[in-house]
């Protein structure tokens, strides 16, 4: 029997200039003096909420970097699962946490540590039978995933704002790669939801 590989899907909120740092709150991530935390909030509306609800559910497991895991673990277990479908989903699924600290203790229920040869372990994880893996936040981890060509899909939310300095989605890990648009929509407040899947190598040509 052929087992379909698990996909790694990166979900990111990004500005027009590619910044993904601290979209949700002023104190989410102030590293390197970032002062625009919460920049996605003014664009929230019912349409965005419905689209996000379709993307975040318990049919996926989570793959997170250490910093994002700490933020999530300190927040989602405390939320009311009756009123928050996201909390219900995140608390229910398995959380795979990538960290250099092999002694790290993970208090959030259903959390598993990924350490050591991370690339090899992620490849093995993808080859297992199971749910696809969603990556939220985790800017440093995403660079490893991009560099090792482990990202199968990008589900991007692009906001009509430029932020200048800040952690970028496409930074030092980015490699030349082809991507195919599979789905897109624009909310009334101008947020572009666009999903892409990996589609081979970069194609070139000439108009000459």
Tell me the pLDDT tens digit for each residue of 19-31: 999 999 898 999 9
Residue 177 lies in a domain: yes
Judge whether residue 152 has pLDDT over 70: yes
Residue 99 lies in a domain: yes
CA–CA separation, 195 vs 162, rounded Å?
21
**pTM, entire model:** 0.94
Residue 203 lies in a domain: no
How would residue 1 be classed by pLDDT, with cut points 50, 70 and 90?
very low
Residue 13 lies in a domain: yes
Compute the average pLDDT of residues 24-48: 94
Over pLDDT 70: what percentage of the chain?
Answer: 99
Residue 76 lies in a domain: yes
Give the domain CATH number at 83: 3.40.430.10
CA–CA separation, 133 vs 9, rounded Å?
6
Number of domains in the chain: 1
Q: Which two structure tokens, joined as six digits, stand for 36?
A: 């625009």
Give the phi and the psi of residue 52 in degrees, each rounded to 5: -65, -35
Residue 208 lies in a domain: no
CA–CA separation, 208 vs 195, rounded Å?
32
Judge whether residue 178 has pLDDT over 90: yes
Q: Which two structure tokens, joined as six digits, stand for 32?
A: 């390197």
Q: Which domain holds residue 44?
A: 8-198
Instruction: State the SS3 of 92-129.
Output: HCCEEEECCCCCCCCCCCCEEEECCCHHHHHHHHHHCC
**Positive/negative CA dihedral, 125, 28, 10, 82:** positive
């Amino acid at each position: 029997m052929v087992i379909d590989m698990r996909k790694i899907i990166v979900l990111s909120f990004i500005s027009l200039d590619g910044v993904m740092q601290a979209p949700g709150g002023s104190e989410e991530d102030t590293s390197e003096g970032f002062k625009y935390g919460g920049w996605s909030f003014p664009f929230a509306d019912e349409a965005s909420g419905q689209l996000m609800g379709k993307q975040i559910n318990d049919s996926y497991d989570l793959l997170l970097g250490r910093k994002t895991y700490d933020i999530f673990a300190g927040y989602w277990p405390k939320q009311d699962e009756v009123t928050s479908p996201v909390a219900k989903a995140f608390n229910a699924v398995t959380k795979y946490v990538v960290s250099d600290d092999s002694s790290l203790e993970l208090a959030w229920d259903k959390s598993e540590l990924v350490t050591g040869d991370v690339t090899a372990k992620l490849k093995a994880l993808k080859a297992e039978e199971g749910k696809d893996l969603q990556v939220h936040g985790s800017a440093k981890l995403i660079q490893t995933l991009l560099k090792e060509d482990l990202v199968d899909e990008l589900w991007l939310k692009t906001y009509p704002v430029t932020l200048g300095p800040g952690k970028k989605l496409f930074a030092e890990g980015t490699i030349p790669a082809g991507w195919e648009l599979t789905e897109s929509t624009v909310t009334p407040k101008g947020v572009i939801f666009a999903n892409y899947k990996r589609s081979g190598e970069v194609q070139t040509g000439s108009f000459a």
